[in-house]
Amino acid sequence: MANIKISEKNLKTVKEICKSFGNKGGEVINVLHKVQGEFGYLPKEIQEAVAMELNIPVSRVYGIVSFYSFFTMQPKGKYPISVCLGTACYVRGAEKVLDELKRQLKVQVGDTTSDGKFSLNVLRCVGACGLAPVVMIGDKVYGRMTPDKVKDILGEYND
Amino acid sequence: MVKLIIDNRPVEVAEGTTILKAARQAGIHIPTLCYFELAGMNFENKPGGCRVCVVEVEGRRNLAPACATDCMEGMVVHTNSARVLNARRTVVELILSDHPNDCLQCEKNGDCELQALAKRLGIKEIPFKGTQSTYKKDCTLSVERDMDKCVMCRRCETMCNKIQSVGALSAINRGFNAVVSPAFEEHLGDSSCVNCGQCVQVCPVGALTLVDNISDVAKALADPTKTVVVQTAPAVRVALGEEFGMEPGTIVTGKLAAALRRLGFNYVFDTDWSADLTIMEEGTELLGRVKKVLNGEKATLPLFTSCCPGWVSFFEKNFPDMLDYPSTAKSPQQMFGAVAKNFFAKKIGIDRKDMVVVSIMPCLAKKSECAREEFAVNGNRDVDFSLTTRELAHMIKQFNLDLNEMPEEDFDSPLGSSTGAAVIFGATGGVMEAALRTAYEIQTGKTLPRLDFTEVRGLDGVKTATVDFNGLGVNVAVCYGLANARAMMEEVRNGNPRGFHFVEVMACPGGCIGGAGQPYHHGNSDIIRKRMEATYREDAGKPIRKSHENPDIVAIYKEYYGEPCGHLSHEQLHTHYYDRSTKVEVK
Amino acid sequence: MTKIKTHVLCCGGTGCKASASDQIIDEFQNILKEKGLQDEVQVIRTGCFGFCEKGPIVKMLPDNTFYTQVKPTDVRKIVEEHIIKGRKVTDLLYLDPENKQHVSDSKHMGFYKKQLRIALRNCGFINPENIDECISRGGYEGLGKVLSEMTPQQVIDEITKSGLRGRGGAGFPTGVKWGLCAKNKADQKYVVCNADEGDPGAFMDRSIMEGDPHSIIEAMAICGYSIGATKGLVYIRAEYPLAIHRLQVAISQAREYGLLGKDILGSGFDFDIELRYGAGAFVCGEETALIHSMEGKRGEPTFKPPFPAVSGYLEKPTNVNNVETFANVPIIITKGADWFNKIGSEKSKGTKVFALAGQINNVGLIEVPMGTTLREIIYEIGGGIKGGRQFKAVQTGGPSGGCLTTKHLDTAIDYDSLMAAGSMMGSGGMVVMDETSCMVAIAKFYLEFTCEESCGKCSPCRIGNKRMLEILDKITKGNGTMEDLQELRNLAGVIKDTALCGLGQTSPNPVLSTLDNFWDEYVEHVVDKKCRAGVCKQLMHYEINPEKCIGCGACARVCPQEAISGEKKMAHHIDNMKCIKCGACHEKCKFGAIEIK
């Protein structure tokens, strides 16, 4: 079997989180939530370490990670962008906003810009339908978006 | 009892019977795809996922899966209404629309359950054109994976996790991208896979198949500079006939020897011979450990058998702290290889490099076993190639032969004679029984009053017994399925509360007769049962039924090895195990 | 001690928070302090008022003045004018679009007039992070009543008699469900609250949890008492951080008050609640999938029976209800089944919360009695279609529902009438569409969602929906045939008939209902290769009408492709080879000169 290559610090973090859930296999989803909260994403070696600590097959961990859209193996950009594609936003033109974001950032959905600054994702309904269409950058919500506002809101993140 | 109507016929079944089984009872055969059961062997896969078995139940809004719906009093079921037939056809067309159209080149051509289904439903074209799933092809030394062909029946996943507790495979992703895979879609060979191959045995299509070594063997046979020696495992002779239309349970030992000879093997030997040798070594080892304990010395008990390479790989990967439990005796395949390349090559005056040893095995893990580094001398393997029962059948056909027409012939001497004890290695409990026959007589110096240890026979997943060795109670356990083995190991790790002395483990359902290299049983456990009956029939018919009475075995100790577990046999017939568990490299 | 004279209720729901309601609250605190009024005026962060379109909302008590679209910079004016001088800030009041009059009390607004708030009774009235406010409005009275006066069976009978049906979608009678679970004996049973709201146009459950978390806790305890369970689990979307926070606060306050934990109110009944987090899988709204997810597995549904009432979480009897269902329970207990079952229609009792969204004037969260017509909701509560455009369709039930049209406007909505019309209640998403929506594209939108969210376990959903999506894609690109429409219908029928779980079985509804109600539009796409809404890019292009164009050049400036050219003050022209049909020019042009062809 392949060996797990992981830094001591990360292994310690994983061990602590698993221990806080009693190292129980049934807690794997809760553990993954916590671990992703810690690392921002779930790279392979982290999943392997979780499997080992919970004494469950790593295939099961990966089966779960690849099933739930909340879990990701890709590190997010410094400023993660989420475009709401809920129905309310969709009928008010969210797709056009998304197209414009893709065009300006030169990335596809799920990708991160080459400088690591922005990652682009879609989500379904943030519950701000009154502001549709909605784009989130980090925790900040931008409502009533139009394609020509895209340049301005991205401009807010010029470091 | 529950009364219901299926296709206008009244049917009465026990409570808890599914519509599928009730219909079968009435002679109505509802097609299935994902459903898979090994009756009486604790394996059932009914995710209700393929939806091929849907039927109409009056009063219900949707069609119901017959495999997962229990009969209810007064139910009225239609299995062939226009609605059902259209739905079933559409579902199969959908499955075919995401399945490659290369049946002619597929390993499963003729053995494929999806192909049979399409034929049965008379599907002539697939109305849906669209994206097909594509995945990287992958293989281990034993198993080939072509997930483009996967129909998501999940049988392999159930087998790998529930029955084997290996956990190499899991469903990954979701929706159209869902597929069964090792973690991170990496190589199966890098996973916890032990190459037991049971995923291959249950796969309805050609997604999981074996690594085919027929051409390697054919090449060796065609090479005039090579002396090609073949050995054939106990379980092969009770199953090979099925590939040639014979009834399950037909014994073809003589025809098998004849066919091998006609294929061009220079020496047609028998793994049964080395099974007898295994008993001498393993039995002696067992007695040695027991004696030590009786003398108050330290020894590791229970002794676990080590004939099954899937099991060996399993404990190396999962129980690195318990590597001193299993017997160090090599498996019969590898003992044979060691004897052939060391003793027999010398005897016939050729260099081991000019000898090719081929094994015919019911097993996929044997392909990986013979490739282990420790079983080679300067890169020259003791066993060069391992073919499965299915590959042998293909090969016989490719060589324009028909097993039905073969005469009965004997194996060659001296590595061809065997006892009944060796024959039963093929069935779960067989190694145990064979070992008990020999160990009893050596330990007690008495002749066994009865040879049949029926308490370790049968298709139960775990069997235990206490055998009276002239006042000494020997506690034994027999299990198949690696999940059962895992539980046994954990019990032993926790102090062996039931005080076992000797444990037999086989990875496959029913032992080697249910091996992954055997003809596909397609979920019919009666086939395995009949192979088992044939095995004990063959044993009962043997003039000699105890390994230590095999004259050729007695002779080789006299001539070559000296004594069981002696110096030379330790060198050639024993092995050691490695910690192959996942380790953490802190960077 | 100074008597509090004024309460300022400020909406802290997600929508209003996104529009700076937190800053508004801070600003109030600061300015009140500055004016020395901090002891006389109490500022309360409430849950959602519902009228999200006009958020952030600030409501003044006791005079019920309802300020809309408040900005942090407006706060000083409210304090100085309203609180100090007692004069309403007129320009922050709601402007009635009909008579152009300012309305100061929400009771008189079209949006609220037809509403009846039962599940949302406390949302917008209390500080959800303060259990005392909840108790002062009758919170935990129901729990007290069942523990002191009622047997478990009486509770089940009362809920059954009330006619309450599951608000998560299918409408199974809640009392019957409890009864099934109650009769199964086990050493441990579970009450599960399904808060994995995944419908892409619905946020009612979240609003309830954010605005009135105690009602859920109370209802779960009542349910636990009646079925014999001592453990409750809330399966909540990890994407709802505010709702999670408020539930956590509420649970710990309830424990502190002895309303959760051992020996609740001295009755000997033990009950406690834990949170479990969903991880982004729509299918986990299905109860068997939800249970598997809570057990740390892939959220794949399994065939029922066995029902969770027999074998659910950890194979123990489990009762799963959705948030809104639970929110109705305490008030049914306190006011009685006979009060509740007089509200609503014959077979659907009580009210339903809808997330009203789309091309409608008053987007927001509404609660109406069952039996209210779509017309009343869209035109009276919703204030009609945005920009005075034509109503085209209304989608209910999310990905499991269907698109209804003008002919259904007078349908009195309840579980059964929506089902009969080819849609369903679903969890309560209601998205209104006008002529700018293409119904083929809408069907495709929902199917894309279903394909993304399908668990992949059963072949009809895994492959069938993918094939339907491919056919729809072909149609929207102008390559469809009439045979494709036939095949769509057959596939939709078979998927409905054969899929494993409720989600798979209802996934073809958006396609079937649009085929039924907007057949002409499909035929237009297939035969005439036209998309009348101008949504399907391959079937449309933009042209500048030279009669209308004044040559201002605004379109050319926004065009990302430099596809528009023309002399100043002369009619411009679009180069269709360069145009990527982003629509920026169309939106920019004030003269309607850019037309979809």
| Six token digits for residue C121 | 């009774």
Residues A104 and A55 in one domain: no
CA pair distance A75, A61, nearest whole angstrom = 18
Give the mean model confidence (pLDDT) for residues C298-307: 93
Residues B168 and B255 in one domain: no
C-beta of residue B390 within 8 angstroms of C-beta of residue B539: no
C-beta of residue B179 within 8 angstroms of C-beta of residue B235: no
Domain boundary among B97, B121, B154: B97
pLDDT digits (tens, 9 = 90+) for C448-479: 999 999 999 999 999 999 999 999 999 999 99
Probe site for chain A from B172, B314, B319, B368 (most A CB atoms < 10 A): B172
Q: Count of domains in chain A? A: 2
Angle between helices C465-476 and C482-498 (to 10 degrees): 160
CA pair distance B490, B485, nearest whole angstrom = 9
Taken in order B163, B169, B170, B174, the sign of the CA dihedral is: negative
For residue C335, pLDDT beyond 90: yes
The pLDDT of residue C98 is 80
Nearest C-alpha in A relative to B583 = A3
Q: Is residue A73 part of a domain?
A: no
For residue B87, list chain C residues with Cβ-Cβ distance below 8 A. 494, 497-498
Residues B345 and B369 in one domain: yes
Pick the CATH number of C541-596 from 3.30.70.20, 3.30.1950.10, 3.40.50.300, 3.40.50.170: 3.30.70.20
Give the mean model confidence (pLDDT) for residues B556-584: 95
Q: Is residue B578 part of a domain?
A: no
Residues A61 and A84 in one domain: no
The pLDDT of residue C96 is 87
Q: Quote the minimal CA–CA distance from B83 to chain C in Å.
A: 9
For residue C343, pLDDT beyond 90: yes
Probe site for chain C from B94, B95, B98, B153 (most C CB atoms < 10 A): B94
Instruction: Name the residue ranges covered by the structural domains of chain C.
Output: 6-108, 131-340, 351-434, 439-528, 541-596
Q: How far apart are the first and last CA of chain B?
A: 65
SS (H, E, C) C99-114: CCCEECEHHHCHHHHC
The whole-model pTM stands at: 0.94
Beta-strand pair A4-6/B584-586: parallel
For residue A8, list chain B residues with Cβ-Cβ distance below 8 A. 586
Q: Is residue B111 part of a domain?
A: no
Beta-strand pair C564-565/C573-574: antiparallel
Average model confidence (pLDDT) across chain B: 96
For residue A28, list chain C residues with Cβ-Cβ distance below 8 A. 296
Taken in order C194, C196, C201, C202, the sign of the CA dihedral is: positive
C-beta of residue C236 within 8 angstroms of C-beta of residue C247: yes
* Residue tagged active-site, from B56, B107, B157, B282: B282
CA pair distance B304, B316, nearest whole angstrom = 13
Residues B48 and B65 in one domain: yes
pLDDT digits (tens, 9 = 90+) for C480-505: 999 999 999 999 999 999 999 999 99
The pLDDT of residue A90 is 86
Q: Which CATH number goes with the domain that contains B163?
A: 3.30.70.20
Residues A88 and A52 in one domain: no
Domain coverage including residue A149: 79-155
Q: Give phi and psi for C287, each to the nearest 5.
A: -65, -35
Query: If we measure between CA atoms, which residue out of B150, B148, B154, B151 comes closest to residue B135?
Result: B148
For residue B31, list chain C residues with Cβ-Cβ distance below 8 A. none
Query: If we measure between CA atoms, which residue out of A115, A117, A124, A157 comes closest to residue A140?
Result: A157
Chain B contact for C505, CB < 8 A? yes
For residue B96, list chain C residues with Cβ-Cβ distance below 8 A. none
Q: How confident is the model at residue C125 (pLDDT cuts 50, 70, 90)?
A: confident
The pLDDT of residue B305 is 97
Strand partners, B574: B329
Chain A contact for B190, CB < 8 A? yes
**Amino acid occupying residue A82:** S
Q: Which CATH number goes with the domain that contains A95?
A: 3.40.30.10
Q: Which of A6, A56, A62 sits opposite B172 (nearest CB)?
A: A62
Give the mean model confidence (pLDDT) for residues C524-535: 93
Domain boundary among B151, B183, B210: B210
For residue A3, pLDDT beyond 90: no
Q: Please name the residue ranges forming H helices in chain A.
A: 8-20, 28-39, 44-54, 58-65, 87-91, 94-105, 150-155
* Residue tagged active-site, from B46, B108, B366, B367: B366
pLDDT digits (tens, 9 = 90+) for B93-150: 999 999 999 999 999 999 999 999 999 999 999 999 899 999 999 999 999 999 999 9
Specify the CATH superfamily of domain C131-340. Answer: NADH-ubiquinone oxidoreductase 51kDa subunit (3.40.50.11540)
Chain A contact for B145, CB < 8 A? no
Query: If we measure between CA atoms, which residue out of B181, B205, B272 comes closest to residue B36?
Result: B205
Q: Can B285 be counted among the known catalytic residues?
A: yes
Q: Is residue B225 part of a domain?
A: yes
Query: If we measure between CA atoms, which residue out of C39, C34, C30, C41 comes closest to residue C86?
Result: C41
Residues A101 and A140 in one domain: yes
Q: Which CATH number goes with the domain that contains B14?
A: 3.10.20.740
Chain B contact for C255, CB < 8 A? no
Residues B316 and B409 in one domain: yes
Q: Which of A4, A59, A62 sits opposite B585 (nearest CB)?
A: A4
CA pair distance C358, C430, nearest whole angstrom = 8
Give the mean model confidence (pLDDT) for residues C130-135: 94
Nearest C-alpha in A relative to B194 = A1
The contacts of residue B281 (CB under 8 Å, 6+ apart) are B327, B329, B335, B564, B565, B569, B573, B574
For residue B177, pLDDT beyond 60: yes
Q: Can B327 be counted among the known catalytic residues?
A: yes
Q: Can B359 be counted among the known catalytic residues?
A: no
Kind plus residue range of the DSSP H or E element containing C490: helix C482-498
Residues A45 and A100 in one domain: no
For chain A, what's the residue count?
159
Residue B97, helix vs strand vs coil: helix
CA pair distance B201, B156, nearest whole angstrom = 9
| Six token digits for residue B467 | 């055998």
Residues B385 and B457 in one domain: yes
Nearest C-alpha in A relative to B165 = A57
Q: How confident is the model at residue C5 (pLDDT cuts 50, 70, 90)?
A: confident
Nearest C-alpha in A relative to B167 = A57
Chains in touch with A (≥3 Cβ pairs < 8 A): B, C
Q: How confident is the model at residue A131 (pLDDT cuts 50, 70, 90)?
A: confident
* Residue tagged active-site, from B37, B369, B433, B504: B369
**Amino acid occupying residue C344:** G
For residue B355, pLDDT beyond 70: yes
Q: How confident is the model at residue A55 (pLDDT cuts 50, 70, 90)?
A: very high
Domain coverage including residue B195: 138-210
Residues B53 and B145 in one domain: no
Whether C498 and B87 lie within 8 Å, measured CB to CB: yes
Whether C463 and B131 lie within 8 Å, measured CB to CB: no
Q: Quote the minimal CA–CA distance from B587 to chain A in Å.
A: 5
Kind plus residue range of the DSSP H or E element containing C470: helix C465-476
Whether C497 and B70 lie within 8 Å, measured CB to CB: no
Q: Is residue A55 part of a domain?
A: yes
Q: Quote the minimal CA–CA distance from A30 to chain C in Å.
A: 7
Q: Which of C298, C357, C584 sits opposite A63 (nearest CB)?
A: C298
Q: Count of domains in chain B? A: 3
CA pair distance C386, C393, nearest whole angstrom = 13
Residues 67-86 of A with CB under 8 A from B: 67
Q: Quote the minimal CA–CA distance from A25 to chain C in Å.
A: 7
Q: Can B282 be counted among the known catalytic residues?
A: yes
CA pair distance B400, B409, nearest whole angstrom = 19
Give the mean model confidence (pLDDT) for residues C541-559: 91
Q: Is residue A1 part of a domain?
A: no
C-beta of residue B537 within 8 angstroms of C-beta of residue B426: no
Residues A57 and A22 in one domain: yes
pLDDT digits (tens, 9 = 90+) for B496-554: 999 999 999 999 999 999 999 999 999 999 999 999 999 999 999 999 999 999 999 99
Residues B226 and B206 in one domain: no
The pLDDT of residue C2 is 60
C-beta of residue C399 within 8 angstroms of C-beta of residue C507: yes
pLDDT digits (tens, 9 = 90+) for B84-105: 999 999 999 999 999 999 999 9
Nearest C-alpha in C relative to B70 = C305
Chains in touch with B (≥3 Cβ pairs < 8 A): A, C
Residues B167 and B295 in one domain: no
Q: Which of C18, C296, C437 sits opposite A143 (nearest CB)?
A: C18
Higher pLDDT, A16 or A148: A16
Q: Can B366 be counted among the known catalytic residues?
A: yes
Whether B181 and A4 lie within 8 Å, measured CB to CB: no
The pLDDT of residue C541 is 87
| Six token digits for residue A110 | 């799920």
| Six token digits for residue B293 | 């304990």
**Amino acid occupying residue C226:** S
Q: Is C505 exposed, middle or buried (0-12, 13-18, 19+ CB in 10 A)?
A: buried
Q: What percent of chain C lies above the pLDDT cut of 70? A: 100
Whether A130 and C358 lie within 8 Å, measured CB to CB: no
Chains in touch with C (≥3 Cβ pairs < 8 A): A, B
Task: Evaluate whether the domain defined by C439-528 bears CATH number 1.20.1440.230.
Answer: yes
CA pair distance C234, C257, nearest whole angstrom = 20
Pick the CATH number of C6-108 from 3.40.30.10, 3.40.50.800, 3.40.50.2000, 3.30.420.10: 3.40.30.10
Q: Which CATH number goes with the domain that contains B498?
A: 3.40.50.1780
Q: Is residue A113 part of a domain?
A: yes
Of the spans A97-101, B394-398, B580-584, C16-20, which averages the highest pLDDT?
B394-398
Residues A60 and A115 in one domain: no
Residues B172 and B45 in one domain: no
Domain boundary among B210, B242, B267: B210
So what's the ipTM on this one?
0.94
Chain C contact for A97, CB < 8 A? no
**Amino acid occupying residue B206:** G
- What fold is seen in the domain C351-434? Ubiquitin-like (UB roll) (3.10.20)
Residues A60 and A112 in one domain: no
Residues B232 and B320 in one domain: yes
Give the mean model confidence (pLDDT) for residues B418-436: 96
* Residue tagged active-site, from B196, B370, B512, B565: B512
Chain C contact for A151, CB < 8 A? no
Q: Which of B68, B87, B174 sits opposite C454 (nearest CB)?
A: B174
CA pair distance C488, C500, nearest whole angstrom = 19
**Secondary structure tally for chain B: helices H, strands E:** 19, 23
Q: Quote the minimal CA–CA distance from A48 to chain B in Å.
A: 9
Q: What percent of chain B lies above the pLDDT cut of 90? A: 95
